[in-house]
Amino acid sequence: MAIWKITEEGPIELPQTELPKEKVLEEGLEKWIEKEPGILGEPLLLIGRQVMIPEIKDRLDLLAVDPQGNAVVIELKRGKLKDPVDMQAMR
């Protein structure tokens, strides 16, 4: 699927890329989202990064709240999964 940049001269198709080729890791994705949560397409207020949950001895990649005050858990995965993502988020 193409992504286009709209300029005064008209639309310009942007080159496609892949995260592995760009050497983007989960940490880089976290930084991008931390800097601009709107990149996820939702109006979120980020309240924590790498939030430790002592009861399960695990961390949330990012924790945010939506405009209604609901907690939003953001788990980022890149590459092969060792655990199902939904199970990690539910823990």
Q: Does the pLDDT of residue 59 top 70, yes or no?
A: yes
Comparison of pLDDT for 87 and 40, the residue scoring more: 40
Q: If DSSP codes are grouped into helix, strand and coil, which group holds residue 17? A: coil
Q: How confident is the model at residue 69 (pLDDT cuts 50, 70, 90)?
A: very high
Mean pLDDT of the chain, nearest integer: 78
Local structure of residue 2 (DSSP, 8 states): -
Quote the CA–CA distance of 12 and 34 in Å, as a whole number: 28
Please give the C-alpha separations between residue 24 and each of 18, 19, 60, 62, 71, in angstroms, as whole numbers. Answer: 9, 5, 19, 17, 27
Q: Is 23's pLDDT higher than 90?
A: no
CA 81 to CA 85: how far, in whole Å? 8
pTM: 0.59
